[in-house]
């Protein structure tokens, strides 16, 4: 695949960008005319890869944003691809299916791709997109295993060298109350941090019996139950809270983790543990304690992180109050609301802004790779019910092969 597979790089103008949506009105822009050699007032032609529940939902957000034209669709399942195409007015000839649908979408020429599939295929999809000269917007986690994480890190660097944008969609980092709270923590508002805690609880997803192929597990978030396809509950879901905790710690990497996990759901078929507790150690002695469970028990959705210092602490959630309590730099904060949707909207607007400005520093990727590797470290430490160091994890570089036999190309 050559770099010509994607459309010649184009840019929307400052005027078109500012007029497209009120959500981005507060941003400051530079003249994009010299950035990518685009026709004036053009929209970003977007190809969406993965159009299940979240994929179709976020495609609608891209469509509403005003800076994008949904020009191509790809999903493993033909009926899903065609249905999404009809919903968003995409020519049936530009709706692709099968395992190789992403290749055909990229070859059909788009400016950017949005990756919304199970994370097992993110590294391959991102690699193909960057090689073809596309900008990349992707969900988290960035991969299921260490080799995949390292691939994403490498492809983001290549994207920067090619002057392409690569953004990973974490919502908590877009919230104004979180941004101000973390800023104050980094400025010393709670003093030296001794302990950080994070948690993630939800009701989990259905886990039907395994079939002759994995095809039946590639939809309706069933794949979260399979470590090789969906990375595990800790890596795929718990990462929201762990990423927030690492942000509070300045995005440092832990030196080791220890913990334990189990499958507590009724009649499990996948190998993903749904109940876990993991403790991370950092070089400076700081401790991060993370817990989570994903069982249908009426506990509902809870996600958050807290940092405890000397005379003050900070706590925040995916919803609810986020603030800094105590100390001379205390912050009353506020209620985080509808972060799943509002955070995605802000990231979608940011993606268009970065393209307009030609900002290809791709700053979301290193922290996203670090968070994914940290949760993988926790997953593997829990499984061995013992201590595992970061160095051991990286040096092992263990892949999680997926059995693709019987799947349609």
- The 10s digit of each residue's pLDDT in 183-230 is 999 999 999 999 999 999 999 999 999 999 999 999 999 999 999 999
Q: Is-above-0.85 flag for pTM?
A: yes
Q: What is the DSSP letter of 310?
A: S
Residue 208 shares a structural domain with residue 328: yes
pLDDT in tens, 72-96: 999 999 999 999 999 999 999 999 9
Residue 179 shares a structural domain with residue 303: yes
Spatial separation of the C-alpha atoms in residues 14 and 27, rounded to whole Å:
11
Residue 135 shares a structural domain with residue 222: no
Burial (CB count within 10 angstroms: exposed 0-12, middle 13-18, buried 19+), residue 332: exposed
Provide the token pair at 238: 């718990």
Q: What percent of the chain has pLDDT over 70?
A: 90
pLDDT in tens, 256-283: 999 999 999 999 999 999 999 999 999 9
Q: Check pLDDT > 60 for residue 31.
A: no
Alpha-carbon distance values, 76 to 49, 132, 277, 329, 352 (Å): 9, 21, 34, 51, 27
Residue 237 shares a structural domain with residue 386: yes
Residue 214 shares a structural domain with residue 329: yes
Q: Flag the least confident range among 3-12, 21-30, 279-288.
A: 21-30
The pLDDT of residue 122 is 98
Spatial separation of the C-alpha atoms in residues 339 and 19, rounded to whole Å:
24
What average pLDDT does range 359-372 have in this prediction? Answer: 98
Mean confidence (pLDDT) of the chain: 91
Which H or E run contains 121?
A: none
Q: Give a yes or no: residue 105 inside a domain.
A: yes
With beta carbons less than 8 A apart as the criterion, state whether 61 and 69 touch.
Answer: no
Q: Give a yes or no: residue 408 inside a domain.
A: no
pLDDT in tens, 124-183: 999 999 999 999 999 999 999 999 999 999 999 999 999 999 999 999 999 999 999 999
| Helical pair 53-65 and 339-357, crossing angle rounded to 10 deg | 50
Give phi and psi for 258, each to the nearest 5.
Answer: -145, 150
pLDDT in tens, 181-194: 999 999 999 999 99
Q: Check pLDDT > 60 for residue 41.
A: no
Domain region containing 151: 14-171+349-362
Most distant pair of Cα atoms in the chain: their distance: 62
Alpha-carbon distance values, 98 to 2, 30, 102, 107 (Å): 21, 40, 8, 15
First to last CA, the chain: 17
CB atoms within 10 A of CB 266: 8
With beta carbons less than 8 A apart as the criterion, state whether 30 and 132 touch.
Answer: no
Residue 184 shares a structural domain with residue 160: no
Q: Flag the least confident range among 39-53, 131-145, 352-366.
A: 39-53
* Count: domains in the chain: 2
Spatial separation of the C-alpha atoms in residues 38 and 67, rounded to whole Å:
14
E-only strand ranges, 21-81? 44-49, 68-75
Q: Give a yes or no: residue 65 inside a domain.
A: yes
Residue 20 shares a structural domain with residue 146: yes
What average pLDDT does range 347-375 have in this prediction? Answer: 98
Residue 128 shares a structural domain with residue 186: no
With beta carbons less than 8 A apart as the criterion, state whether 293 and 264 touch.
Answer: yes
The pLDDT of residue 6 is 59
Band of the pLDDT at 298, cuts 50, 70, 90?
confident
Spatial separation of the C-alpha atoms in residues 254 and 248, rounded to whole Å:
13
Q: Give a yes or no: residue 57 inside a domain.
A: yes
DSSP for 224-250, written as a single string: GG-HHHH--HIIIIIHHHHHHHHHHTT
Q: Check pLDDT > 60 for residue 32.
A: no
The pLDDT of residue 299 is 86
pLDDT in tens, 109-127: 999 999 999 999 999 999 9
Residue 199 shares a structural domain with residue 277: yes
Q: Check pLDDT > 60 for residue 26.
A: no
Q: What percent of the chain has pLDDT over 90?
A: 88
Q: Give a yes or no: residue 305 inside a domain.
A: yes
Residue 50 shares a structural domain with residue 104: yes
Band of the pLDDT at 42, cuts 50, 70, 90?
confident
The pLDDT of residue 18 is 33
Residue 214 shares a structural domain with residue 332: yes
Residue 255 shares a structural domain with residue 158: no
What average pLDDT does range 298-320 have in this prediction? Answer: 95
């Amino acid at each position: 695949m050559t770099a010509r597979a994607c459309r010649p790089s184009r840019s929307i103008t400052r005027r078109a960008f500012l007029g497209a949506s009120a959500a981005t009105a507060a941003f400051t822009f530079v003249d994009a005319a010299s950035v990518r050699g685009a026709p004036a007032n053009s929209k970003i032609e977007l190809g969406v890869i993965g159009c299940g529940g979240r994929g179709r939902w976020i495609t609608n957000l891209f469509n509403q944003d005003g800076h994008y034209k949904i020009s191509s669709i790809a999903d493993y399942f033909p009926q899903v691809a065609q249905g999404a195409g009809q919903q968003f007015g995409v020519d049936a000839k530009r709706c692709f299916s099968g395992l190789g649908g992403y290749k055909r979408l990229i070859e059909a020429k788009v400016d950017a791709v949005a990756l919304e599939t199970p994370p097992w295929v993110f590294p391959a999809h991102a690699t193909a997109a960057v090689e073809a000269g596309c900008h990349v917007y992707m969900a988290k986690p960035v991969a299921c295993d260490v080799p995949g994480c390292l691939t994403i890190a490498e492809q983001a660097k290549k994207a920067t060298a090619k002057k392409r944008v690569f953004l990973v969609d974490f919502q908590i980092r877009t919230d104004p109350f979180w941004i101000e709270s973390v800023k104050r923590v980094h400025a010393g508002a709670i003093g030296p941090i001794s302990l950080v805690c994070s948690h993630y609880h939800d009701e989990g997803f259905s886990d039907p019996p395994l079939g002759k192929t994995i095809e039946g597990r590639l939809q309706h978030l069933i794949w979260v139950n399979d470590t090789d396809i969906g990375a595990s509950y800790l890596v795929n879901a718990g990462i929201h809270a762990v990423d927030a905790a690492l942000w509070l710690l300045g995005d440092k990497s832990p030196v080791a983790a220890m913990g334990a996990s189990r499958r507590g759901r009724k009649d499990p078929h996948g190998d993903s543990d749904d109940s876990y507790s993991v403790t991370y150690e950092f070089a400076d002695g700081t401790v991060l304690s993370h817990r989570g469970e994903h069982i249908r028990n009426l506990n509902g959705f809870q996600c958050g992180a807290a940092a405890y210092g000397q005379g003050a602490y900070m706590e925040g959630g995916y919803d609810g109050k986020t603030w800094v309590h105590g100390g001379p730099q205390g912050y009353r904060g506020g209620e985080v609301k509808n972060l799943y949707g509002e955070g995605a909207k802000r990231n979608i607007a940011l993606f268009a802004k970065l393209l307009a400005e030609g900002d290809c520093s791709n700053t979301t990727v290193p922290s996203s790779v670090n968070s994914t590797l940290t949760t993988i470290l926790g997953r593997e430490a829990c499984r061995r019910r013992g201590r595992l160091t970061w160095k051991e994890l990286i040096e092992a570089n263990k892949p999680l092969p997926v059995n693709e036999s019987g799947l349609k190309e």
